[in-house]
Amino acid sequence: MRIFILSLLFITLTFGMKVNYHEWEKGKTFSDYLDDRNISKGLLQSISEEDKKFLLEIRTDYKYYELINENGALEQALIPISEEMQIHLFKKHDESYGFDIIPVVYRNQEYFARIEITSNPYSDTLKATNYPKVAKRLAMALDGVIDTRKLHKGDEVAFIYTQKTRLGELYAMPKIKMAKVDMGRKEQFIYVDEEGYGYKEVGEKVAYTVTGKRKVVYTRRVKAGKGSRFGMPLRHARITSSFAYRRWHPILKRYRPHHGTDFGARRGTPILAVNKGKVTFAGWMGGYGKVVKIKHSGGYVSLYAHQSRLRVKRGQYVKKGQIIGYVGNTGRSTGPHLHFGLMKNGRWINPMKVLRKKSIGGSTLKKVTKYEDVKTTKYKKVEIPGAEENRKKLEAYLLNEIPSYIWGEERFKGKLQDEEILEDEE
């Protein structure tokens, strides 16, 4: 298979083809799409078990693109399954179709804005940039760092941000990289992390709570529900590979999403249920090898892959911390480890953002015997890569009096000038 890069505008003008783009309909399956395009269902049989699971990850919030020939037949399709990866469907020389998962090609450019406060940061940013998402992201970065109610007319907010474009259209949310608030005699730089939250200092210490247990017996108002708290799947967890929308696969030697966290452990190490629930699957699952899936309350489903031996069966109810199997390296695995995945309402999420978190219920007055939480406050540093470099960039923009970038019709109309990786079968 050879890979080459073509301009879509060149294709449409030279070969008489056209490019369509649509939003994926909610509830629509990949099989439905093949029916719509009169593509043989035999294509589904050619897709590996490892890749089939990504057919359930097609995004409804990103546009997918089709290259249509002069006869109205599909030549290629690019269908995002995450911000970084996409399904590539392409016609071969024998008129059959090929399937692959490839990185999304996009441009990521930096922009600058300088806002004078006349009413509030959101409204003034919207007026100055003509882009609501930028205004929303700036408000998020300022929240908790600056009391925007104390800003006065004439105060200034300057910031730099990045925006991705794909095939001439805006792609994904903008990301604020650095901001500065000038309040007359006082100024405050705001360092923004990858999730869009602002901090007053690089490496700022943020408080968090560690919860322990102690046994108490008394009458008091307590939570009506027991709540749910996710534990760890191993007693001594050691992360060897984190959740990622785009990761180099050590066996396949290509980029693939990694919808889970890998924990290194010796073969035979007990695997624990992270919370109580019902076993919905226990058996062999392609590249995952021996797998257990557990359905929990709140829309959560946990997955435990590459096990050497299973201890539970489908339909069985398990408690939090119960042994459900043992670490192994079955399936597509480079060595003994646990691949742990977590879904929320049908979509894969980063497990480490949920494990050890506690939910909140109602309350009632009664006599109880229970283990009460003992909370200890600790502090951790928030590391922001490139923070000092972004500060220097922002200062340079201000020193050179660069004007704010104002978004126009390019927010709504694709220019079809960007390049995309297209594949053709030899």
Residue 4 has pLDDT above 50, yes or no: no
Average pLDDT value for residue range 142-147? 90
Structure confidence at residue 354 (pLDDT): 87
Two tokens at 351?
């497990």
| Residue 312: pLDDT over 50 | yes
Residue with structure tokens 């960039």?
Answer: 393
- Residues 190, 151: one domain? yes
d(CA 413, CA 416): 9
Q: The domain spanning residue 243 has which CATH number?
A: 2.70.70.10
CA distance 8 to 273: 49
Rg (CA), the chain: 26
Residue 379 has a CB neighbour count (10 Å cut-off) of 9
- pLDDT, residue 11, reads 54
Closest CA to 63 of 104, 18, 113: 104
**Are the beta carbons of 303 and 260 closer than 8 angstroms?**
yes
Q: How many CA atoms lie within 13 A of 235 on its CB side?
A: 7
Q: Does pTM surpass 0.95?
A: no
> What is the CATH classification number for the domain harbouring 99?
3.10.450.350
Query: Locate tokens 């602002």: which residue?
Result: 198
Q: How far apart are CA 284 and CA 259, in angstroms?
A: 18
**Contact status, residue 162 vs residue 216, Cβ threshold 8 Å:** no
Last residue of a domain, one of 353, 370, 401: 353
**pLDDT given at position 377:** 74
Give mean pLDDT, residues 379-395: 85
Distances (CA, A) of 64 to 36, 78, 104, 212: 15, 6, 11, 48
Rounded to an integer, the average pLDDT of 68-81 is: 93
Pair 29, 116 in one domain: no
**In terms of Cα–Cα distance, which of 303, 11, 277 is closest to 167?**
11
Contact 240, 264 (CB under 8 A): yes
Residue 122 lies in a domain: yes
Measured between alpha carbons, how far is 381 from 385 in angstroms, rounded to an integer?
Answer: 12
Helix (H, G, I), strand (E, B) or coil at 10: helix
Interhelix angle 132-142/121-129, rounded to 10 degrees, is 150
* The domain boundary residue, chosen from 67, 87, 104: 104
> Same domain, yes or no, for 146 and 213?
no
Is residue 245 located within the same domain as residue 348? yes
* 191 located within any domain: yes
Q: Which of 153-167, 322-336, 347-361 has the lowest mean pLDDT?
A: 347-361
- Judge whether residue 249 has pLDDT over 80: no
pLDDT band for position 414 (50/70/90)?
very low
Residue 39, both tokens: 């593509």
Please determine, for residue 234, whether its predicted confidence score (pLDDT) is greater than 70: yes
| 82-97 per-position pLDDT tens digit | 999 999 999 999 999 9
Q: Which of 181-185, 353-357, 360-364 shows the highest mean pLDDT?
A: 181-185
- Count up the domains in the chain and report the number: 4
Cβ contacts of residue 245 below 8 Å, gap of 6+? Answer: 82, 83, 84, 85, 257
Lowest mean pLDDT among 67-81, 88-102, 147-161, 400-414: 400-414
200, amino acid identity: K
| pLDDT class of 217 with cuts at 50, 70, 90 | low
Q: Which of 17-26, 27-36, 373-382 has the lowest mean pLDDT?
A: 373-382
Most confident option among 83-92, 221-230, 248-257: 83-92
Q: Which pLDDT belongs to residue 258?
A: 86
Say if 347 falls within a structural domain.
yes
Nearest to 297 by CA among 313, 320, 324, 281: 320
Q: Is residue 424 part of a domain?
A: no
pLDDT band with cut points at 50, 70 and 90 for residue 12: low
Distance CA 173, CA 27 (A): 24
Listed in sequence order, the residues at least 6 apart from 220 whose beta carbon sits closer than 8 Å to its beta carbon are 365, 368
220 and 248 share one domain:
no
Q: What is the pLDDT of residue 167?
A: 82
The answer on 216 and 296 residing in a single domain is: no
- Which residues have CB under 8 Å from 177's CB, separation 6+? 110, 159, 160, 161, 162, 192, 386, 390, 393
d(CA 110, CA 6): 25
Q: End-to-end alpha-carbon separation of the chain, Å?
A: 6
Q: Could you tell me what percent of the chain has a pLDDT over 90?
A: 60
The reported pLDDT for the residue numbered 413 is 43
Q: Is the pLDDT of residue 202 over 90?
A: no
- Predicted local distance difference test score (pLDDT) of residue 115: 95
> Is 416 part of a structural domain of the chain?
no
pLDDT over threshold 70, residue 14? no
Residue 364 has pLDDT above 50, yes or no: no
Instruction: Using CB atoms within 10 Å of the CB of residue 392, give its burial: 0 to 12 exposed, 13 to 18 middle, 19+ buried.
Output: exposed
- Taking 50 as the threshold, does the pLDDT of residue 299 lie above it? yes
Stretch 175-197: mean pLDDT: 92
Which amino acid type is present at position 230?
F
Pick the closest to residue 238 from 257, 264, 215 (CA basis). 264
Backbone angles phi and psi of 166, in degrees to 5: -135, 120
The pLDDT confidence band at residue 373, using thresholds 50, 70 and 90, is confident
418 in a domain, yes or no? Answer: no
Query: Which residues form the domain of 373?
Result: 206-227+360-381
The pLDDT of 387-400, averaged and rounded, is 94
CA distance 188 to 29: 49
**Whether pLDDT at 9 is above 50:** no
Lowest mean pLDDT among 93-97, 373-377, 420-424: 420-424
Query: Same domain for 78 and 221?
Result: no
Reply yes or no on whether the pLDDT at 81 is more than 90: yes
Task: Please write the tens of the pLDDT for every residue from 324-355.
Answer: 999 999 998 889 999 999 999 999 999 998 88
- One domain, residues 371 and 405: no
The reply to whether 145 and 46 lie within a common domain is no
Which of 70, 104, 138 represents a domain boundary (last residue)?
A: 104
Same-domain status, 29 and 174: no
d(CA 145, CA 198): 7
Mark whether 92 and 111 lie in a shared domain.
no
Residue recorded with tokens 């995309």? 420
Identify whether residues 247 and 344 lie together within a single domain.
yes
Residue 421 belongs to a domain: no
pLDDT at position 380: 64
Is 306:338 a contact under the CB 8 Å cutoff?
A: yes
In a domain, 423, yes or no: no
